[in-house]
Amino acid sequence: MLHFSQSHGLSQTGDLPRPSGLGSALADRLLAAIRDGGLAPGDKLPTEKQLAESHKVSRAVVREAIARLKSEGYVETRQGAGAFVLARPGQTIFRLTAPNGLETGDLRHAFELRGAIEVAAAELAARRRQPADLAAIAAAFAAMQAALAEGREAAVADDAFHAAIAAATGNPLIQRFSEFLAHQFSETRQLTWSEAARQQGKAAAAQGEHQALLRAIEAGDAFAAADAARAHVAAAAARFGFGSD
């Protein structure tokens, strides 16, 4: 952990561990200081030179760490003045994954978040869907069906299927949030449509679940739609080793 004086000056902390990502390791250490109050909102971070010396890393590593904290909404940089902790650190930007993509723990969390959002969206879509919504959902389903028959991947069509369900809720906030997360959720869908997964029958299994979801929404059965979405996400997680606890 970082240690700070009452003026929030950085004390000597010694070497960082030497993982493959020194920038991420330093960013994590600074983030811990922000979260535990060692660096409070409005505080200026130690200078690039101070951080490099106290952690025995290069200034390029320090810049990488600061860039990550900035991208995740924890600090801002001011020309000629340095980096400062934001007034509401971590509350202005939401990020689902680490910069290097989804790790094992991230995948479990991503599937849980998918379930929370997609179950609610499916239920509302079944209650509120309009003819145009049904046409869009069905078109995406048909594109996946064609890809499956031809031995092609269909992650884009899978994304479109779930985006059309979100749009069918009639709730612009759900739709926008789903769009915001789509590129991150897409990584879990790409797993289903990889060549290996297709050969193992995982894509076909997912398509059966999509069909159940489509039929429930077409029927206007909100309970069945919620159940179908819940079953789909749970089965997707289980296919990749993330069964329910």
The pLDDT score that the predictor gives to residue 143 is 97
Does one domain contain both 111 and 231? Answer: yes
Q: C-alpha angle 214/220/223, rounded to 5°?
A: 85
Residue 215 lies in a domain: yes
Residue 65 lies in a domain: yes
Does one domain contain both 216 and 135? Answer: yes
Tokens standing for residue 107:
């995948």
In what helix (H) or strand (E) does residue 55 lie, and over which residues does it extend? helix 48-55
Higher-scoring residue by pLDDT: 4, 27: 27
Does one domain contain both 17 and 76? Answer: yes
Residue 196 lies in a domain: yes
Domain boundary among 93, 123, 151: 93
Q: Using CA atoms, how far apart are residues 166 and 169, in angstroms rounded to an integer?
A: 5
The pLDDT score that the predictor gives to residue 176 is 83
User: At 96, is the pLDDT very low, low, confident or very high (cuts 50, 70, 90)?
Assistant: low
The pLDDT score that the predictor gives to residue 32 is 87
Q: Using CA atoms, how far apart are residues 109 and 57, in angstroms rounded to an integer?
A: 32
Taking only the tens place, the pLDDT of each residue in 141-152 is 999 999 999 999
Taking only the tens place, the pLDDT of each residue in 9-55 is 444 444 444 444 788 889 889 988 888 888 888 999 999 999 999 99
Query: Is it the case that residue 6 has pLDDT exceeding 70?
Result: no
Q: Which of the given ranges, 70-79, 103-112, 186-195, 234-243, has the highest pLDDT on average?
A: 70-79
Identify the sign of the CA torsion 52, 55, 58, 62. negative
The CATH number that applies at residue 125 is 1.20.120.530
Q: Which residues pair with 84 in a beta bridge?
A: 44, 76
The CATH number that applies at residue 67 is 1.10.10.10
User: At 240, is the pLDDT very low, low, confident or very high (cuts 50, 70, 90)?
Assistant: confident
Task: List the domain range (segments joined by +) for residue 80.
Answer: 1-93
Does one domain contain both 162 and 74? Answer: no
Residues 6 or more apart whose CB falls under 8 angstroms from that of 126 comprise 216, 217, 219, 220, 221, 222, 224, 225, 226
Residue 98 lies in a domain: no
Query: How many CB atoms sit inside 10 A of residue 119's CB?
Result: 20
Taking only the tens place, the pLDDT of each residue in 202-231 is 999 999 999 999 999 999 999 999 999 999
With CA atoms as reference, report the closest residue to 65 among 22, 110, 103, 98. 22
Q: Using CA atoms, how far apart are residues 229 and 235, in angstroms rounded to an integer?
A: 10
Q: Which residues pair with 78 in a beta bridge?
A: 82
Tokens standing for residue 26:
């330093």
Q: Residues for the chain: how many in total?
A: 245
User: At 79, is the pLDDT very low, low, confident or very high (cuts 50, 70, 90)?
Assistant: confident
Does one domain contain both 137 and 219? Answer: yes
Query: Is it the case that residue 239 has pLDDT exceeding 90?
Result: no
Does one domain contain both 122 and 230? Answer: yes
Does one domain contain both 199 and 168? Answer: yes
3-state secondary structure of 133: helix
Residues 6 or more apart whose CB falls under 8 angstroms from that of 220 comprise 126, 127, 129
Q: Which residues pair with 215 in a beta bridge?
A: none
